[in-house]
Structures are given as structure tokens and as C-alpha cells.
A and B are shown apart, each in its own frame.
Chain A
């Protein structure tokens, strides 16, 4: 059985946009931040404000997105933030500037011994962690509303109208449709295994044992999906899929507001590329106000 995200039609500006417009804008902002490797807060923070504004304009109820946000906040703050703060990895090499003032050292010692090492947390790493988190949230809050505000029936049409072939459009369409189904199956499987005494949070043993103990979650969901796939293949074959070019029931037309939003997205992407590659603006640096605030 296919389930869908909690899509609901809402009378909002975001939902009045063509789905292609929203996908193009998402691609433009994501590419603007990642392709020219933007790490400058003067660019990242305005894009964060833009993403946040667009997210709030979608008017999605908190109860619908609470779980997604909890997961993203855990990932961003506790995994990415701490990783950036301690290791400084995941960004440009200038984050690991040896001349950056050290705020404090975090000891990593082998329990019961005095062996270990001290990991310095520098001003540079702290600023990088803030930038990395803001950068990730800027992209995430643009992507999160899509399943809640875009009609699942027009995913395929949108990709087809963006120039993809029928088969690739159908693949994308089906992938988006299957995603919530499998996410639900995974949740059900986790609950079912927990009812049998499986403790996901207390995976004991080494790396190999931990991976092996993921099998009770991975195998049922994967095998069920292969069975589902046969049913879908049969249904599509019965409708003669792939024997001739397809027509698409839904038609999409750009409105003036779509051209404006696409233009905005393309302008952001081009501006970021020109600033970085043309003027050398957009790389990582620690602003003086941040250094002064932390070390005086």
C-alpha cells in the first residue's frame, strides 16, 4: 500500500507556485551554497533568512513537521555542530588555522589510564560550527516543506516538463511516492522489533556486531519492498507502460510569479559564483566581532 506525506492543499503563495519553480529554487540555493563552496556568513545568513521566510510562508503546522525538525536539530546541533567544533572537518582547510586562539581543550582519555590526547577548540572551529549549522538549516528548511505542500500527483509531471524522459520521470515520481511508505515501514518494523525485545538504542558489541544487529530492521523492509515492486511492475505492464510515448494528465504552466522566483534563484546562484570565483568573496573567515566577543 502506498502512503503519502501529510500533503494538504493550503491557500498560500508557496503552493500557488509551479512545482518546477520550487524545485529550481531549491536547486539554485543548494548549488549556490555548495558549488562555489560558500562559507562567508555575509552570504549564508541572508540566504538563511530567505529560506526561513519561504518556510514560514508555507504555513505548515508544527505537529506535522515536529519529528523532521527534531531529527534535523539533533543531527545539526549535536552531530554536525560538535563535529565542527571538535574536528573542524567538513569545510575548507582554513578552519584548521593553527594561529586561531584556543578557547579550551577537550580531553579524550582512555578510561583508567592517563593516555589520550587533548583536542583544542579554537575560535575558528567555533565560528565554522555556527556557519556549518546555519548553512545546513538553510538548505533543510527549503526541502522540508516540499512533501507537505506539493501534490504527490505532480512530481512526475514536474520532472517530465523539466526535460526528463518518461522513464526517468516515472522513476523520480515513484521514488518520491515510495519514500514515505518505506519510512513508515521502517518505523513499524522498529516498533515491532522493540516489542520482541530488540533494543535499538543499546546496540552492544563492536562495529561488526552493531552492523549485524541492524539486519532485523533492514531485511524486512527491503524484502517487503521487493514484493511490493512486483505488484507495481505488473500494474504498470498491464497499462502498457513503456510501449509508446506517454501523455500526462496534469498540465503545468508558469505564471509571472514563477518567472520572478526562478529569476531570483538563478540570480542568487550566479551572484554566489561570481563573488567567489570572480572576486574571491565567499570563503571562510572569522569576523573580528566574533573573535573579540570570545577572547576580548
Chain B
């Protein structure tokens, strides 16, 4: 998990970090109109699956950059403003599944898909927990609101989206990668 490939930050990471950020921003912007129940400023985001996919496919730096920059872009485009803790939380959400990048070599294999979903779920929990708990300091909410009003709906929505769309993305990517030959 700590080999050079996983933590490398070269041209590929720069380019795919930017692509992941732009995609996350565009999809977030396009889907910011579905507010999750019980959370006034949390939205239902199918784009989360794309973020987890970029982390798992291209590594932790790509996931981190795509999450931080993409969330900032998506929020800015939608007029939500800038919430550093949620952007960083989204970055963590992309970074954690990136830790298994080196161990994923067959994106069609069911065990590897399940592994990616598992680490993606872990990333969602870590990222949303960070964002929700820091909201106590930035937004002045109490622990109960942070966990029930923010963390829980965000995690449930993101995990559902990831469990449905991530396998489709991985299988499609396996086909694209096979045709490309690398």
C-alpha cells in the first residue's frame, strides 16, 4: 500500500486529478438539485461514484485532488459558495479508496469490484465523518445534528450511489483499458 506506484505524483496523477476534478464538478453541478432528506445543505450526488472510481483507478493523490478541487468547483458553479471542510472531506473520500490502487489489476473481477466498493465505503465514512464533525466548529451545530442530520444521510446516499454505479464504471473501464492496451 505504500509502494512507489501508489504514492507517485507525476504527469498521470496531475492529468487524471484534473480530469477527476472536472468530472466531479460537472456531475455535482448537474445533480445538486436533489437535496437529501433531513439535510438542508447536503445533496444526493451520483458523482461520488466517479470520485471513488478515480481514486481506486489512479491512486490516492488523484482521489484527493479530484475530491477537493471537484467539490469546490461543483459548489462554486451551483452558487453554494466554498466550504473548506466539505471539500477536504470529499478529498478524503477519494483518497482512501486510492490506497488499494496498486492491488486492483482486473476491474471486471467480482472480488476486486467488491474490494473497491468496500474501500470506497470506508472512504465515504472517513470523509463524511471529518466534514460532519468539523461542521460543529464552522457551523456551530451540536454532535447530534452532525451525526444524525449530516453524517448519516450523506453516508447512506453516497454508499447507495457507489454500490450501484461503481461496478458499472469499473466494468466499462476494464473494456476501455483492454482496447487501449495499458
Q: Which residue in chain A gives the minimum CB-CB distance to B35? A: A83
Instruction: Produce 1/0 per residue, A251-268, CB < 8 A to B.
Output: 000000000000000000
| A230–B173 alpha-carbon span in the complex (Å) | 13
Contact B10 A242 (CB under 8 A): yes
Residues of A within 8 A of B104 (CB): none
| A211–B10 alpha-carbon span in the complex (Å) | 34
Q: Does A192 contact B (CB under 8 A)?
A: no
Q: Does A274 contact B (CB under 8 A)?
A: no
| A215–B79 alpha-carbon span in the complex (Å) | 26
| A167–B10 alpha-carbon span in the complex (Å) | 8
Q: Does B49 contact A (CB under 8 A)?
A: yes
Q: Does A188 contact B (CB under 8 A)?
A: no
| A27–B169 alpha-carbon span in the complex (Å) | 34
Contact A225 B82 (CB under 8 A): no
**Distance (whole angstroms) from the CB of B47 to the closest CB of chain A:** 8
Contact B25 A179 (CB under 8 A): yes
Q: Does A34 contact B (CB under 8 A)?
A: yes
**Distance (whole angstroms) from the CB of B60 to the closest CB of chain A:** 14
Chain A interface mostly helix, strand, loop or mixed?
A: helix
Q: Which of A34, A76, A227 has the most CB of B within 10 A?
A: A34
Contact residue among A84, A88, A170, A211 (Cβ-Cβ distance under 8 Å from B46): A211
Contact residue among B9, B39, B40 (Cβ-Cβ distance under 8 Å from A167): B9
Instruction: Produce 1/0 per residue, A238-253, CB < 8 A to B.
Output: 0001100000000000
Residues of A within 8 A of B65 (CB): 168, 171
| A173–B176 alpha-carbon span in the complex (Å) | 26
Contact B23 A89 (CB under 8 A): no
Assuming the contacts A84-B40, A143-B77, asked whether A225 and B23 have C-beta atoms less than 8 A apart, the reply is: yes
Residues of A within 8 A of B141 (CB): 93
Contact residue among B30, B41, B46, B50 (Cβ-Cβ distance under 8 Å from A89): B41
| A213–B38 alpha-carbon span in the complex (Å) | 24
Contact A223 B176 (CB under 8 A): yes
Assuming the contacts A171-B18, A175-B25, A214-B46, asked whether A92 and B79 have C-beta atoms less than 8 A apart, the reply is: no
Contacting chain B: which of A6-14, A113-121, A134-142, A285-293? A134-142
Between-chain CB contacts (< 8 Å), 23 pairs: A37-B139, A83-B40, A91-B40, A92-B139, A139-B76, A139-B82, A143-B79, A168-B65, A171-B69, A173-B18, A175-B19, A175-B21, A175-B22, A178-B22, A212-B165, A214-B165, A215-B168, A221-B26, A223-B176, A226-B173, A236-B11, A241-B11, A242-B10
Told that A174-B22, A186-B27 touch, could you supply 13 new A-B pairs with CB distance under 8 A? A37-B139, A74-B33, A75-B79, A79-B35, A139-B76, A175-B70, A182-B23, A183-B26, A221-B26, A226-B16, A226-B176, A229-B16, A230-B180
Which A residues have a C-beta under 8 Å from some C-beta of B? Answer: 27, 30-31, 33-35, 37, 72, 74-76, 79, 83-84, 87-93, 135-137, 139-140, 143, 167-168, 170-179, 181-183, 186, 207-208, 211-212, 214-215, 218-219, 221-223, 225-230, 232-233, 236-237, 241-242
What 6 A-B pairs are tightest by C-beta distance, nearest first?
A: A89-B40, A140-B79, A90-B40, A174-B18, A178-B22, A90-B41
